[in-house]
Amino acid sequence: MQRVLITGSNSGIGRSTAALLAARGYRVYAGMRDLGKATKLMEACSAQGAEALPVALDVNDDASVRDAVARIEAEDGPVDILVNNAGIALNATVEDVDIEEAKGVFETNFWGIIRCTQAVLPAMRSRGSGHVINISSVAGRIAAIGQVIYSASKWAVEAMSENLAQEGAPFGIRVSIIEPGVTRTAILPKNMGHPEPTEYADAYRRMLQFYARGVMENTSADVVAGVIHSAIEDPAPKLRYPCAWGGVELCEGRSQLSDEAWVDLGRCKSDDDYYAAFEANFGLDIRTPSG
């Protein structure tokens, strides 16, 4: 039975993934800062006749990460699969960034992944196998307007994942990058505001319109969990797995879009012009009935 450690398992993609993998026969260690928030995960597992094992783990704390992994290794054996899921978001344009607040985003989204990965790599390396799955975002492939810090943190995850994929290959360690588009999770309602006052109202309005359109599709975290499970079982492994609403369109569309065309999006005077250009470039209509 493969041992899986999933960070941020108390809600959203982490919780859905923990419940799904437990139901599929994996031994799941569900990392979360507050074990008191494990109730919904336990209920989800119980409904499927499965069990996940909550473990106290704060990705922002060196000792917490070391202790969690050491406990798993001592009680059950080395982690076979690490799912780096814990993450937070922040809306801001470059001029509006609060640097101290922004450091917290990188602490969780980037350094948290480094901490957890470093903790499991020695055992993976010594036995010649292992799988690290990093939850990125479409914002790791495009410079998401009005989300410079969140997007930059996910770009950093993409770069680190590419590095690790090469570094780990000689030791039998595989890396997968999951790139969800808009998914219905708790991170969305927590991240609907933006700095005020601001000179960048157009950028924030268009960014929030994109998410509003994605929310209409009602893509659940279970969809992303299914992609994670598929990545684990994939007989022809890939490095990247775009998914959820807009995932494939945005990742593929940006790779085919010239830098000049990308910059031109920002020059659109009206929202209607922006939405039309966005659809022309990515094949996604981000208008809503109220937008």
Q: Active-site residues: which are they?
A: 150
**Cβ pair 214, 144 in contact under 8 A:** no
Indicate the residue type of 240: R
Give me 73's structure tokens.
């290794």
Residues 21, 24, 26, 28, Cα dihedral to 10°: 30
Q: Nearest Cα to 83, choosing from 157, 147, 23?
A: 157
Q: Nearest Cα to 121, choosing from 201, 178, 175, 58?
A: 175
Burial profile 56-72: b = 16 or more Cβ within 10 angstroms, e = fewer? ebbbeeeebbebbbeeb
C-beta neighbour count of 34 within 10 angstroms: 10
**Cβ pair 135, 13 in contact under 8 A:** yes
